[in-house]
Amino acid sequence: MNALVLKLGGSVLVDIGACAQLVHEVYRHYRSGLSVLVVCSAFKEHTDALLNTASEVNHRSNSHSTAALVQTGEQQAAACLALACDAAGVPARLLDSSQIGLRAEGNPLDAVPVDVRTSVLRDALTQCSVVIVPGYCARDAAGNPVLLGRGGSDLTAVFLAAKLGVPCHLVKDVDGWYDGERRFDTLSFADALVRRDPVVQVKAVEYAAQTDAGFTIGLPSSQHRTTVGNVATRYASPLPQEPDKLRVSILGVGTVGTGVWQRLSAQTGFEIVGGLVRSTKSTDRSTHGRCSNRRQWIDSGKLTTDVNELFDCDIIVEALPNAAIALPLIKRALRSGTHVVTANKDLVARYGPELEALALASGASFEYSAAVGGACPTLEAAERLSGVGQISRMRGILNATTNVVLDAVSSGESLRDAVSYAQKSGFAEADPSGDLSGRDAANKLVLVVRKLTGIWIASDSIDTDPLTDTASASADNLRQVAQIDIQRSRDGRVADVRARVSLEPLQEYDPLAGVRADWNGAVFYGGADGVDTTKVVGRGAGRWPTSEAAVADVLSVANSISAKHHQVLVA
């Protein structure tokens, strides 16, 4: 199984507000092609508070009752993270210790895990890709709640990773295991057990050593970590002095730009230079006619109508309303070597070759994952799969507006009323013709083809079926399906690419049949006979899903900058 166990410790799960930021940590692994099993600690200091509560009620209380109370801390954190994932458009399923059959023996407050239903976990990860479980708690043979000792979420994560046979990464507020001021790059089990450092629960290290199940420790979104396992102990080279915070300018502070601003402001490694707006008043009108309430998250003193004030930066996030306005600004940024992140599919579909050439010439990054599918990592999957096998077909639902409209039509609404509902709900623009005609999905297909094959095709060469009153009434389970077919020569080279956007009635067994409402999905077909499939899903529209994808691109650029900085200093 291509999966990872990711444990989020209480030192990073400090409160409910931290959940939105830790979604980035989950999403970056999901977008890389991994299924992610997330093990949650309770929010910082919450476990101590619950233990004190139990003691206040009855200092000689039944241990199982104490365990039942204390485990609500992990359950609350896990549920909040699942809610944050859903808000950001990341598909996630919440399970508890009973559902996964996590069984432990021994002292009710310091038990040892002995079994888990791995088939349940594997099935859940296959169906959803992100599964969230509370750490620290389990059930004994009689079904009573028990705890795995202080720091027991570490043990939960290591135990589950060992049973699944997948890597385990413990996310904490340190970038590894330290010996005073020196960080270990690798640390042997034997040395880790001798040190008995509270950075990782001793029981977790002991179990990892017994089962030869190594793990890593690091900060969220960081490339620096310590590997603990059956390895030789070695100190890490002293890290070069990191550059100052990366300076980010946001061109367009509407629905998406505001979301990116809020998310990046909460990250420690970034400074928001400012944002380009039509007006510097405290609120601005989004494309759906609703106020975006910038005052909630944004220093109005950093808003400007003069774009020239924003080019002294490292990264530009472009979230402007149309390609004509954005094009000269992005070209200027790329020529100067400034990294660019955009969610503008029209811009990339029309001018992608020119913009990529400018980026290549200056050494700048040009990232546009958010342009297709919002938080559904379609372009990331296409790029990854292009390097590991021969994809022959892609089918996807790439337009959330049409999906919402068709859902309403299927429930009995007229097409006109369905479009009006989508507009009022914020899923359709004032002019939804690009969505309903299929041109929006066609532009997205241009980008998917580029990632899959390295070839740029023209958007107007893609045939589309418009959604009309007649078409919408023609069949049940109608969906707007974007499809790419790739023909290859005997040596594996691309011989022909055909793309289209069509209205198709989907059978219930179709892998896209369950992609409803504002969710997007894509299925890639490969292998010798085209039956190997890879599916990705995620919310395809709205502030937070699109912002999540854009922020993921910003974090990717930041990691690339950091890696290059270290290489230069080491050389």
Mean pLDDT of 548-569: 81
Q: In this structure, are residues 36 and 131 in contact, taking their beta carbons and an 8 Å threshold? A: yes
Best CA proximity match to 362, nearest among 341, 333, 342: 333
CATH of the domain at 295: 3.40.50.720
pLDDT of residue 322: 87
Choice between 140 and 570, residue whose per-residue pLDDT is larger: 140
Q: In this structure, are residues 152 and 201 in contact, taking their beta carbons and an 8 Å threshold? A: yes
Residue 226 shares a structural domain with residue 264: no
Kindly state whether residue 241 falls inside one of the protein's structural domains.
no
Distance CA 571, CA 569 (A): 5
Q: In this structure, are residues 368 and 342 in contact, taking their beta carbons and an 8 Å threshold? A: yes
Kindly state whether residue 207 falls inside one of the protein's structural domains.
yes
Domain that holds residue 314: 246-373+546-570
Residue 181 shares a structural domain with residue 283: no
Distance CA 479, CA 87 (A): 24
pLDDT of residue 239: 64
**Tokens in use for 5?**
């166990």
* Residue 371 main-chain phi, psi, to 5 deg: -75, -15
Residue 192 shares a structural domain with residue 275: no
Residue 396 shares a structural domain with residue 523: yes
**Tokens in use for 435?**
């969505």
**Tokens in use for 382?**
């296409």
Distance CA 373, CA 32 (A): 15
Best CA proximity match to 396, nearest among 276, 280, 501, 271: 501
CATH of the domain at 223: 3.40.1160.10
Examine the fold and report which residue of 204, 235, 266 is the final residue of a domain before the chain moves on. 235
**Tokens in use for 549?**
């994808």
What is the CA angle 14-18-19, rounded to 5? 120
Kindly list the distances between the CA atom of residue 517 and the CA atoms of 106, 245, 399, 431, 552, in Å, as whole numbers in the listed order: 47, 39, 10, 19, 23
CATH of the domain at 468: 3.30.360.10
Best CA proximity match to 369, nearest among 386, 345, 387, 338: 345
The amino acid that residue 482 corresponds to is A
Residue 110 shares a structural domain with residue 257: no
* Residue 177 main-chain phi, psi, to 5 deg: -95, 130
Please write the tens of the pLDDT for every residue from 275-302.
999 988 754 444 333 444 555 668 888 9
Mean pLDDT score of the chain: 92
pLDDT of residue 287: 39
Distance CA 439, CA 450 (A): 17
315-318 and 246-251 strand pairing: parallel
The least confident of 339-348, 357-366, 424-433 is 424-433
Residue 528 shares a structural domain with residue 449: yes
H or E element, residue 206: helix 202-211
CB atoms within 10 A of CB 393: 16
H or E element, residue 379: helix 378-386
Enumerate residues 6+ apart whose C-beta is below 8 A from 110.
147, 148, 149
Examine the fold and report which residue of 214, 235, 256 is the final residue of a domain before the chain moves on. 235
Q: In this structure, are residues 339 and 449 in contact, taking their beta carbons and an 8 Å threshold? A: no
pLDDT of residue 291: 41
Best CA proximity match to 385, nearest among 396, 394, 372, 376: 394
Please write the tens of the pLDDT for every residue from 371-401.
999 999 999 999 999 977 789 999 999 999 9
pLDDT of residue 571: 41
Residue 564 shares a structural domain with residue 537: no
Which range is most confident: 258-267, 293-302, 472-481, 523-532?
A: 258-267
pLDDT of residue 244: 76
What percentage of the chain reaches a pLDDT higher than 70? 94
Please write the tens of the pLDDT for every residue from 16-38.
999 999 999 999 999 999 999 99
Burial class (CB in 10 A: 0-12, 13-18, 19+), 551: buried
Examine the fold and report which residue of 196, 214, 235 is the final residue of a domain before the chain moves on. 235
Q: How many domains does the chain have?
A: 3
pLDDT at 136 over 50: yes
- Length of the chain in residues, anyone? 571
Distance CA 51, CA 49 (A): 6
Kindly state whether residue 183 falls inside one of the protein's structural domains.
yes
Residue 296 shares a structural domain with residue 187: no
Choice between 62 and 493, residue whose per-residue pLDDT is larger: 493
**Tokens in use for 317?**
């996030």
CB atoms within 10 A of CB 369: 25
Kindly state whether residue 402 falls inside one of the protein's structural domains.
yes
Best CA proximity match to 248, nearest among 169, 315, 320: 315
